[in-house]
Structure 1
Amino acid sequence: MKHEKIKVFNKEFEFVEFEGKKYIEENYIFSNKLIKKNHSYGYDTPKYCTDSYDHTKDYLKFSELDVKSWRIVSDDEFGIPINTYAGNQHHYPITIAHYGLQLFGKIIKPYTCYMGGHLEHSIDFSIERGNISLKAGTVTGYSLPLLFGSLISSIEIKPESIFRVHIKLSNKETVIVYEGDSKLIKGARYLSLEDFKKLDPNLNITDLRVRGSVNIAFCKDIINNPCYKEMLKVADWFVLNQASDGSWKSYFEHVFYLGRTDPMSSGWSSALGQGLAISFLTRVYHITGNKKYLNACIAGLNPFEVKSEDGGVLTYWDGQYMFYEEYPTSPASFVLNGFIFSLIGLYDLSQYGVSKAAELFNKGFLTLKKILPLYDLGNKSAYDLTHYTCMTFPNIARWGYHITHINQLFAMYCITGDENINTFYSRWKSYLDEGFSCRTN
């Protein structure tokens, strides 16, 4: 690896040559392919959503979020996330919905890969019981982060497979169940399956890790799960804090883009907030059956039919194509990720027979197909369309938002099967994976 100078647009930058390619180290030009950490170089792998979108499952990998670790987020007196803006604290529906979807994801998908590649797995989930089947070699392992004591009811091992089940108990003891004979190694009890069955069935397990081919059926007392209770607390916050017009409002003044858009007065509504809240509450309804959550979602459709200047989230592109605004700005900003999040929320609600949600989704999806090319900058995507509405240069989406765009387009392709969406998904993904950019004329 060698360092030299390279001239770009008549400005000299230091670059590093790595595997036959040259990378600029300065922040002016950013490559997702190469990152520098502690004076060493390596590849940065984007986190793509590869599972087909399902309105009842983990929402775009939100189970991997840690909302309460965000720099501007703290808790109110009831444990609901609260954001700090300009020295003041405010409930921000968008952040709270992120947190709710995080909690739901951790309940519905209680596993992470801690070593090796991903396993073939299936989950049979219900409120009362859980069943997880894992099949892979011992070089791959999954962690089932039990956020509460769980009672293992049975473990069924494939007869021909080797396996390891690492169990940590509340008394800090480690038990490893495997296909060999029982023995004690460095303070850990290795138990054969037969000896494990002789243990007290009411084990208070705090952590569970699995390697190899194994089927685990375990009691999941979801009702007493602190994560489940926390999720319901967040869901009830949305029910109790929904305005009479169906919106979840942000009660602070906000400037989306200083110098381009006017300040938004306190009490503004966001299509992103509406969409995420609906996606969250439909999922809570799915596993609880409580119609108050579904009714809140249906009421949450009202702002989609009210213009942003009148307190809703609706604006129009080219005077006829319905667009749902993340920020109700003047002039209109047409933020892409907020718009797609709102479409996903509408789709989720439409799956429960709500025809108005389906109608709003279809109209919005028509707009998405119409204007998506305007966000394509040839090697990146635009965050919004203020370069059109304000007649200026593009507001380029940083790579984190570009990855969000990619994952959203994949979800939209799963939902609609539209090949035009798939084309943009593949193209925008290639900007990251292959360093692709448009051919010049």
Structure 2
Amino acid sequence: MRFLSKFALIATITFAVILLTWYRCPVNKKDDNFFRDAFEPVDDYKELRGNRRAAKSFSDSKNYNSFQYDEVECLINKEYTVKCRKEGKETFIPFSFIERYFEVYGSVTHSDGFERFEWRHSYSQVYPPKHKYSPKGVFMSFEHYNVEVRDRVKCISGMEGVPISTQWGPQGHHYPIQIAQFGLSHYSKFLTEEDPDVTILEDGDDEDLRDWNLPSARTRVKVVSDPEVGRVVEFEAPDSLGSFGICMEIDDDSFVLSLDFRFTTNGTITITLEVQKGRIYYIHYVFSNNLISISGQHIYYGLGNIQRTWRHFTRDIGIDFQKGMGLQYSKVKKGKLRSIIIKITSICLHGNGQVDNVTISTAAHLDQFYDAANWLVNHQDERGGWPIMVARRLDILQLAPGWYSAMAQGQAMSLLVRAYIRTKNPMYLNAAVNGLKLYQLGSADGGVMAKYAGTYTWYEEYPTQPSSFVLNGFIYSLLGLYDVKEVATDKSKQLAQMLYDTGMHSLKHMLLLFDNGSGTFYDLRHLTLGIAPNRARWDYHTTHINQILLISTIDSNPLFKTTADRWISYMKGKRAPHN
């Protein structure tokens, strides 16, 4: 009996040990997610790679010693719990919780056979200026912008070659800020990128036209002399897409098509594309006021009405395909569509007309820059502005269609000044100078000027009542004024100088109102409306930094560099000291 009692006691203890062992989970001792010898931060990743806590080799997965951790509940603010893990004196909280709670970012990355977790306090990037700002040069860091690929760009208009925006209006509208950014980004890319690869397909100089395929006796091509442009190719073909047009085969992996054309009848320019899995798609540029549509494998862009005058036409076929297919795909799939194109296989013409300077290239940035500049010249109204024809709501504030934006004025002026510098065409400078008018008109009277505390002049991105005082839009408006004052002459220069100096005086006195100790405010609505502050997202925070770093190259006041350095530190988790 005594033996049985001892046996029962031993069995009970053994069973209890087994249960406790099951409750505690084994972990690879070489797994850096859990094993810690010390908690010393190391800055150099090369140094870290030699440390077993830094990364785990993919091949090092066998014959490990187990290390134990305990599960523990973490009580958050006495409101709810999160499952955590306890290892000695350390408690580990799931990063998925930390990410949401603290608005930080991170992911597991792989490099050279090693795995590590990369923590980022912010997701955006600062681009310090490489040179002193100049109206001849790159605009901020816009060489990194790709306006046309944005989801809020419905397409690039076939009528005027500028973006059509769905921002604040799904029907599509001309948004001057987006158009100016489109032009400034291509101008900046032109200055910073290598020269594009260009293949001339047709320039009218060669009498040998055998590259053009004539499918029937109803089609013909010949070289003629045009009094406007010189030698060009004249073509005749049925104008119906149901009939064969004249075609030229293309064997090139570039996607930017440019040509000069003049149609004398109804007609179409058709591009044939080969995409993955051998599928064929067609993009038709037709004389129609319909913006964009798709039917099966056929995408249509409207060219507007037949003008019977010469027109220069540049298209990024990859973007046109992506936007066309995007009409029937989800947002996730849209971003992948451009990459599935293998090549352009042909260009076909229907109708009667003339064509010249047909090229295929890797880029045509200046063409797209001038498309934006010409749109701004053609659509500036008598008040010198570019009205935004959709309603805009900012919290409890509302702007009716037809409002003006100081940011639109500034970026448009920066674009127009650059177009003038390159061409010396006075129409661009005249339009830029006309843009000064709205800076002198109060926002209550339909202009863009406001006063903070009745003292400091501010040029409003959104001219609401009461004012919202958006920082990034204000600084863009100042850059436009700077560009005009550097190029204009006489009274126009004096006016631009006065408006610029007045704005800079306000910026120097108000900049620190936007510092919240761990980031920046997007605007000052919390002061003017008495509502919750509107914190700037990290991409807007870095825009603020990029802007004041740029300002620091043309204004020596130490405020700008000191403030930029502090705001950069916020992106790494630093905060202003407390009391």
How far apart are 1:16 and its partner, in Å? Answer: 11
Counterpart among 139, 142, 150 of residue 59 in structure 1: 139
1:267-346 matches, within 5 Å, as 267-346=402-481
1:391 deviation in Å? 1.1
Quote how far apart the aligned CAs of 1:27 are.
2.5
Q: CA deviation at 1:350?
A: 1.3
Q: Give the aligned residue type for 1:48.
A: V
Rounded to whole Å, the distance in 1 between the matches of 2:85 and 2:513 is 34
Structure 1 residue 31, shift from structure 2 partner: 2.5
The residue number in structure 2 matching 1:146 is 196
> What are the equivalent positions in structure 2 for 1:412-427 lying under 5 Å apart?
412-427=551-566
Q: Which amino acid aligns with 1:80?
A: V
Alpha-carbon distance in structure 1 between the residues aligned to 2:76 and 2:577: 18
SS at match of 2:518: coil
| 1:148–1:226 Cα contact (<8 Å) kept | no
Does residue 106 of the first structure (1) align with residue 193 of the second (2)?
A: no
Correspondence 1:437 to 2:575: yes
Secondary structure of 1:340's aligned partner: helix
Residues of 2 paired with 1:88 and 1:246: CA distance?
Answer: 26
1:201 maps to none
Q: 1:379 to 1:288 in 2, by over 3 A?
A: same
Note the residue ranges of structure 1 that are not aligned, 5 or more in a row: 111-143, 151-169, 173-220
Is 1:26 aligned to residue 99 of structure 2? yes
User: How far 1:146 sits from its partner (Å)?
Assistant: 1.2
Look up the equivalent residue of 2:486 and give its one-letter code.
Q
Give the conservation status (yes or no) of the 8 Å contact 1:67–1:99.
yes
Supply the distance in 2 between the matched residues of 1:59 and 1:14 (Cα, whole angstroms): 49
Q: In 2, distance between residues paired with 1:309 and 1:16?
A: 58
**What amino acid is the match of 1:91?**
H
Counterpart selection for 2:117 from 15, 18, 41? 41
SS at match of 1:401: helix
- State the alpha-carbon separation in 2 of the partners of residues 280 and 296 from structure 1: 10
Q: State how far apart, in whole Å, the 2-side matches of 1:80 and 1:237 are.
A: 8
Q: 1:97 aligns to what?
A: 180
Summarize deviations over 1:51-96 as a string: whole Å, max 9, x none.
Answer: 1323211111212211111111022232210111343211000000
Q: Contact conserved, 1:413 with 1:422, CA < 8 A, in 2? A: yes
Q: Distance in 2 between matches of 1:376 and 1:284?
A: 36
CA distance in 2 between partners of 1:7 and 1:376 (Å): 32
Residues 204-250 of structure 1 show CA distances to partners (whole Å, capped at 9, x for unaligned) of xxxxxxxxxxxxxxxxx9xxx84322221211100010010101110
Aligned partner of residue 88 in structure 1, secondary structure: coil
Tell me, in whole angstroms, the C-alpha distance in 2 between the residues paired with 1:413 and 1:101. Answer: 21
Letter in 2 for 1:107: F
Which runs of structure 2 are paired with 1:28-427 in the superposition (5 Å)?
28-31=101-104, 34-35=106-107, 41-44=117-120, 46-50=124-128, 51-52=130-131, 53-73=133-153, 74-78=155-159, 79-84=161-166, 85-110=168-193, 144=194, 146=196, 148-149=198-199, 226-257=364-395, 259=396, 261=397, 263-353=398-488, 354-427=493-566
2:540 aligns to what SS in structure 1?
A: helix
3-state SS, counterpart of residue 487 of structure 2 = coil
After superposition, the Cα gap between the structure-2 partners of 1:42 and 1:317, relative to the gap in structure 1 and judged at 3 Å, is same
Q: SS at the partner of 2:401?
A: coil
- Give the superposition deviation at 1:403: 0.5
- Does the 8 A contact of 2:183 with 2:371 survive in 1? no
Equivalent residue number for residue 156 of structure 1: none
Shift of 1:7: 6.1
The answer as to whether partners of 2:142 and 2:188 remain within 8 angstroms in 1 is yes
Partner amino acid, structure 1, of 2:514: Y
Q: What is the CA-CA distance between 1:409 and the residue it aligns to? A: 0.8
What CA distance in whole angstroms lies between the structure 2 residues aligned with 1:8 and 1:280?
51
Cα pair 1:14 1:25 within 8 Å, conserved: no
Separation in 2, partners of 1:4, 1:337: 46
Classify 1:228/1:25 alpha carbon distance in 2 versus 1 (closer, same or farther; 3 Å): same
1:284 and 1:14 mapped to 2: Cα distance? 60
419-428 vs 6-15, which moves further? 6-15
Deviates more, 1:61-70 or 1:6-15: 6-15
Q: What is the distance in 2 between the residues matched to 1:370 and 1:292?
A: 36
Q: Distance in 2 between matches of 1:302 and 1:238?
A: 15
**Letter in structure 1 aligned against 2:118:** G
The whole-number CA distance in structure 2 between the counterparts of 1:291 and 1:266 is 31
TM (norm. structure 2) is 0.53
What value does the CA root-mean-square deviation take over the aligned residues? 3.1
The residue type paired with residue 250 of structure 1 is I
Task: Report the alpha carbon displacement of residue 36 of structure 1 after superposing the two structures with TM.
Answer: 6.1
- Contact 2:72 2:83 (8 Å CA) reproduced: yes
CA distance in 1, matches of 2:420, 2:519: 38
What is the rounded CA distance, in whole Å, between the counterparts of 1:430 and 1:63 in structure 2?
Answer: 25
After superposition, the Cα gap between the structure-2 partners of 1:301 and 1:319, relative to the gap in structure 1 and judged at 3 Å, is same
SS of aligned partner of 1:26: helix
Residue type of the partner of 2:164? I
Structure with greater Cα Rg? 2
Residue deviations 1:227-284, cap 9 Å, x none?
3222212111000100101011101111122x3x2x1011100011011111111111
For residue 10 of structure 1, report the CA deviation from its aligned partner. Answer: 4.8
State the Cα deviation string for residues 22-48 of structure 1 (Å, max 9, x = none): 86533242226x456899732557432
2:178 counterpart letter in structure 1: T
Asked if 2 retains the 8 angstrom alpha-carbon contact of 1:375 and 1:381, the reply is yes
SS in 2 for 1:245: coil
Residue 167 of structure 1 is matched in structure 2 by: none
